[in-house]
Amino acid sequence: MRQELALRILSEVMHWDTSKSREEFTWLRLMSRLKYNRYQDFLAGARFIESLVDWLQQFEHADRATAYEFVRNHLVYVSHAEMQHLVELAYSETIRPYLTTAVATRLNIPTYRVWSQLDARQLYTRLLRQTLFLALSDGARIDIFRRSNVGAISNEQVLVTPQPNSAKWNGLLRDLRTDLNDPSARFAFVFLIDDFVGSGTTLLRLDDNTWEGKLVTFLRNIEEIAQTHLEPQWKLGVHHYIATHKACENLDEREAKARRSPDAKQWFHETTFSYGMILPADLPIDERRYQDLMRLITVYYDSSIATRHFEKGGSDDARLGFGHCALPLVLDHNTPNNSIALLWAESEDPNCAHAMRPLFRRRQRHL
């Protein structure tokens, strides 16, 4: 569908007069061109405006103004360029200060003196080479991370998976010892990198008094490797480019609780969580500020979209997204399931009064 035709249909769907149409068309053309049309799950010929027309038609006419106002004024969309900027900042804004502090601690000097002392600079270079960077998912943009840090970080330090096999681990250690000219060298730091964390549940959670999640899986996978490839007091860094305020609190609380658990001897020696950007605490949709939208979220819902995966977030009700995070958030490569279902859900349940249509269709990772 051509954009101009879609805009005319949108005007009819919304019952806009000429003045209102002109005003909204200007904004829609601008935002489509700058951001929304680049959403990776849109098809050629059916991008944002076409999707918006289809999405709005699932609502009764009296509710369309509320739905459109939400998109117009409250939707948070992180574009490819914005995400890439966060990827490029990860080393300079997070990793370098982290290692600088590690150098200062080992030499018992203030951090501001690290770059003025030869022995400190040499130790920083060594510790940086003793650091591994592993992607927790394809959203980590680990290829961009590697290319943006050419000259500082070696290709042999960057992995596209958190579960390399033993042959890969042996190759990594062999390259490390060759580069440092030290036959006894081991890795001192490991960074797990990902794009977004909404509730922290996928990363770390307590299921039936047992700790589960990606952190636990990673710890289990390296249990033997750590004895031979990592220093005895090696440290873990977990970096997300974007995080919710809720996730930051949850992860700090859960990690501290896991550290105090009876199995703490098998836990990480030290864990640091870092974030390129933390979303505002008041970002989630709530009843007080979004009363009309909350009614739409409740009325236009098909319970068939909730898979068993949602139960890990504490409820099988997907209206407000996984973990009831209630986010108005879209990432350029996919819409998080922590966002409200109205944004991403699609259903065709003949037994349901309402079949949901997505504005930004989500690529499901869990069925």
Both tokens of 131, joined, read 């650091």
**Sequence spans of domains, the chain:** 3-78+284-344, 80-278
Q: Residues 118-133: what's their mean pLDDT?
A: 97
Residue 1 scores a pLDDT above 60 = no
Among residues 50, 51, 77, 55, the alpha carbon closest in space to that of 67 is found at: 55
Stated pTM of the model: 0.93
pLDDT computed for residue 367 by the predictor: 47
Q: Which residue has the tokens 């580069």?
A: 179
pLDDT computed for residue 245 by the predictor: 96
Among 12-16, 100-104, 138-142, 157-161, which range has the highest average pLDDT? 100-104
Q: pLDDT tens digits for 195-228?
A: 999 999 999 998 888 899 999 999 999 999 999 9
Q: Residues 10-31: what's their mean pLDDT?
A: 92
Separation of alpha carbons 137 and 28, rounded Å: 32
Task: Give the E-state strand segments of the chain in sequence order.
Answer: 76-78, 131-135, 158-159, 187-197, 205-207, 210-212, 230-243, 271-278, 329-331
Separation of alpha carbons 358 and 224, rounded Å: 45
pLDDT computed for residue 216 by the predictor: 93
pLDDT computed for residue 332 by the predictor: 94
pLDDT computed for residue 363 by the predictor: 82
Give the mean pLDDT of the chain: 92
DSSP string, 49-71: HHHHHHHHTTS-HHHHHHHHHHH
Q: Collapsing DSSP states into helix, strand and coil, what is residue 148?
A: helix
Separation of alpha carbons 177 and 185, rounded Å: 6
Q: pLDDT tens digits for 320-363?
A: 999 999 999 999 999 999 999 999 999 876 566 678 999 999 88
pLDDT computed for residue 66 by the predictor: 97
Give long-range contacts, CB 8 A cutoff, 24+ apart: 57-60.
Answer: 57/13, 57/357, 58/300, 58/354, 58/355, 58/356, 58/357, 59/296, 59/300
Q: Which residue has the higher pLDDT, 216 or 366?
A: 216
pLDDT computed for residue 7 by the predictor: 84
Percent of the chain residues past pLDDT 90, beyond the cut: 80
Q: pLDDT tens digits for 275-305?
A: 999 999 999 999 999 999 999 999 999 988 8
Q: Which residue has the higher pLDDT, 313 or 13?
A: 13
Separation of alpha carbons 204 and 261, rounded Å: 14
Separation of alpha carbons 34 and 357, rounded Å: 24
Both tokens of 180, joined, read 């440092």
- Contact status, residue 324 vs residue 314, Cβ threshold 8 Å: yes
Percent of the chain residues past pLDDT 70, beyond the cut: 95
Q: pLDDT tens digits for 130-152?
A: 999 999 998 899 999 999 999 89
Q: Collapsing DSSP states into helix, strand and coil, what is residue 312?
A: helix
